[in-house]
Amino acid sequence: MDTAPAVGGGRGGAGVEEQQEVAELPQLLLFAPPSPPFLGLLAKSFRLLKPWEEESMSTQQFLTTQAQSVRALACIGLFQIDSEILRCLPSLQLVVATSVGVDHVDLAECRRRGIAVTNAGPSFAEDCADLAVGLLLDVLRRISAADRYVRQGLWPIKGDFPLGSKLGGKRVGIIGLGNIGSEVAKRLEAFGCNISYNSRKKKPSVAFPFYSNVHDLAANSDVLILSGALTKETYHIIDRDVLLAMGEKGVIINVGRGALIDEKELVRCLVKGEIGGAGLDVYENEPDVPKELLVLDNVVLSPHKAALTPESIAASGKMAVANLEAFFAGKPLLSPVKDE
Amino acid sequence: MDTAPAVGGGRGGAGVEEQQEVAELPQLLLFAPPSPPFLGLLAKSFRLLKPWEEESMSTQQFLTTQAQSVRALACIGLFQIDSEILRCLPSLQLVVATSVGVDHVDLAECRRRGIAVTNAGPSFAEDCADLAVGLLLDVLRRISAADRYVRQGLWPIKGDFPLGSKLGGKRVGIIGLGNIGSEVAKRLEAFGCNISYNSRKKKPSVAFPFYSNVHDLAANSDVLILSGALTKETYHIIDRDVLLAMGEKGVIINVGRGALIDEKELVRCLVKGEIGGAGLDVYENEPDVPKELLVLDNVVLSPHKAALTPESIAASGKMAVANLEAFFAGKPLLSPVKDE
């Protein structure tokens, strides 16, 4: 031992100190198991409560007996944090979501009780924008459909695959110009697209044309890109009228939430050829995808992966920890979800 | 009739004049039928010779009897203009190609005889760059593979599809920084990629790091993008060593010509997992695609369509006409293919 043992009443030996430190770590209630690296990160700074590990009691029993003093919970993925859960947690002050969209959290109840909610902030914005652009390129230039054609051995037999359409010069309407929408715009400008947008209000620092009305935006767009949050106001913001306003070559890309679009109407428009195509990462009843879409060549179907790469998941984990540390240190949160 | 009939020997009536005008239009020899709109464009300015319409004689017979005074030919698509054809055309001064790559034209023989060759210039550069980026996004983010997964109904049964990898931050090496490569670089900068390049010589006006050696470029790249011309010097420029230099996560994108890559070695590397993936628009023996590739999930296969949209085809038609008009007016050609 190269240091003298601690003396005096203030500090115990190393073992005792560690025990005390663990006891002193702030409690963090987890919903759904995190990935091993994220779990490791959280365990360094928090005493973790894991209701799914307690086989002898229900979640409700666990919450009402073990989590009455819990001030913060972290919600992994899209685990539903509903009013029933919130009711069991009288001391709760913070819900940390690891996703961008927080429609799986009962925001109204949180607001009523003054519980703060944070999301992944910009962690996923670049990857989400990349997938939006990838889906758009795929739909316009028919990449997945052409790949199927080659894999089925049809090229030597049937000859040239039908042409797609040029991305440059397209009028692209972005609905929700937040972190993701801004990254989409930056990328599509490099392809020579003409960007305009719709959001709750005009952004003074943004030069792109603003449309206060989604229908007007659609009528002036060849492509619509959805990347915004699902709220009561944005539920089915894309209805049949908006879809038809784009015209029969119109393309819609959705990397936000399925219920931003009236999915039944979208399917009908695609099947009838009333719009040109769609690139979808999200659906109203995931993981169920409407069967009619599975056989269409003018759609590209992604299994809710827009935001997710190992890189973005790591970034969102760091953001969650940073929000938690700020909260317990009494500092401002890094990515609070603002009231509508 | 509101104008007096022409008098004197200089001009005939309208009908005769039109006939004379057609006779006076410069001759243009076509190889392979153009699209109807392009044919219409050409017919306005040229008297067209169409060997494929003459069923009573061979192409050689046609050329040696009907095309001895022909000064210009337009080559549609990738029709082979070989030394045998050139030998039959003693007056030929110009070959107008409608493609970017001109490896289907016997350039050595053209050079020897002083026959100028023009290509599509920048007409296809944007679309070609768009497909290169689309293929790269698809390989990295596994878009086509995920689309197959959803279409096969596996999402509800097998759960989450494996993650892809983030595009931003990737080191992208572009081989051949011409019209297409420059457009690729512009797009990928907006995604946060780090660009470097290899070409015959360093370009003084370009700030990206230059590698004079393809192997060194590969060793410093996560992604290689091929968009350059196929020449004797670039044949199999990507061999096994270059592929392995990228490492096992390396991705290669080819929108140039199949034979830029040693395809057998590429297939071996992909099958064995010695590189990460490939996005291919071109192959060594088109339309035949190596069978081993058809079952791999880490490749995206496109049937030689990189350059082609209705928009780019129209642009290349205009470029061909502009080159022909410049030639017959004795003005500089717009997109001459320069000597190596």
Provide the strand spans (E) within A180-339: 194-198, 223-226, 251-254, 277-280, 299-301
| Residues A206-227 pLDDT 10s | 999 999 999 999 999 999 999 9
Residue whose entry in the numeric block shows the structure tokens 């030998």: B87
Cβ-Cβ contacts under 8 Å between A and B: the total is: 167
Band of pLDDT at residue A307, cut at 50, 70 and 90: confident
| B-interface mutation test, from A123, A131, A140, A151, most B Cβ less than 10 A away | A151
Chain A residues whose beta carbon lies within 8 Å of the beta carbon of residue B311 = 165-166, 168-169
Whether residue A190 and residue B187 make contact (CB cut-off 8 A), yes or no, is yes
Q: Angle B224-B228-B233 (CA atoms, 0-180°, nearest 5)? A: 100
Q: Which of B70, B111, B93 is nearest to B330 (CA)?
A: B93
* For chain A, percent of residues with pLDDT exceeding 70: 93
**Which pLDDT does position B24 carry in this prediction?**
84
Q: Angle A62-A67-A73 (CA atoms, 0-180°, nearest 5)? A: 110
Class of domain B124-301: alpha beta
**Which pLDDT does position B10 carry in this prediction?**
38
For B156, which of A134, A142, A287 is closest by C-beta distance? A287
Phi/psi for A14 (5° steps) reads -55, -45
CB B298 within 8 A of CB B278: yes
Whether residue A303 and residue B127 make contact (CB cut-off 8 A), yes or no, is no
Rounded CA separation B141/A314 (Å): 16
| Residues A85-94 pLDDT 10s | 999 999 999 9
Chain B residues whose beta carbon lies within 8 Å of the beta carbon of residue A138 = 134, 138, 143-144
Mean pLDDT in residue range B81-95: 97
For A289, which of B131, B135, B150 is closest by C-beta distance? B150
Rounded CA separation A154/A35 (Å): 42
| Residues B179-201 pLDDT 10s | 999 999 999 999 999 999 999 99
Element (H, E) at B277: strand B277-280
Chain B residues whose beta carbon lies within 8 Å of the beta carbon of residue A167 = 130
B124-301 matches B14-120+311-328 in CATH topology: yes
Whether residue A303 and residue B163 make contact (CB cut-off 8 A), yes or no, is no
Peptide bond into B287 cis (omega under 30): yes
Whether residue A134 and residue B137 make contact (CB cut-off 8 A), yes or no, is yes
Band of pLDDT at residue A306, cut at 50, 70 and 90: confident
| Residues A181-204 pLDDT 10s | 999 999 999 999 999 999 999 999
**d(CA B273, nearest CA chain A) in Å:** 20
**Residue A18: pLDDT over 70:** no
Three-class DSSP category at A161: coil
- CATH of the domain spanning A14-120+311-328, picked from 3.40.50.720, 1.20.1260.10, 3.20.20.10, 2.50.20.10: 3.40.50.720
- Token code pair at residue B167: 């595009």
Which residue of chain A comes nearest to B124, CA vs CA? A166
**d(CA B163, nearest CA chain A) in Å:** 6
Whether residue A131 and residue B143 make contact (CB cut-off 8 A), yes or no, is yes
**Residue B275: pLDDT over 80:** yes
Chain B residues whose beta carbon lies within 8 Å of the beta carbon of residue A308 = 163
Q: How far apart are the first and last CA of chain A?
A: 59
Q: Where are the domains of chain B?
A: 14-120+311-328, 124-301
Rounded CA separation B76/A45 (Å): 68
Element (H, E) at B310: helix B310-328
Residue whose entry in the numeric block shows the structure tokens 């990629």: B193
**d(CA B41, nearest CA chain A) in Å:** 21
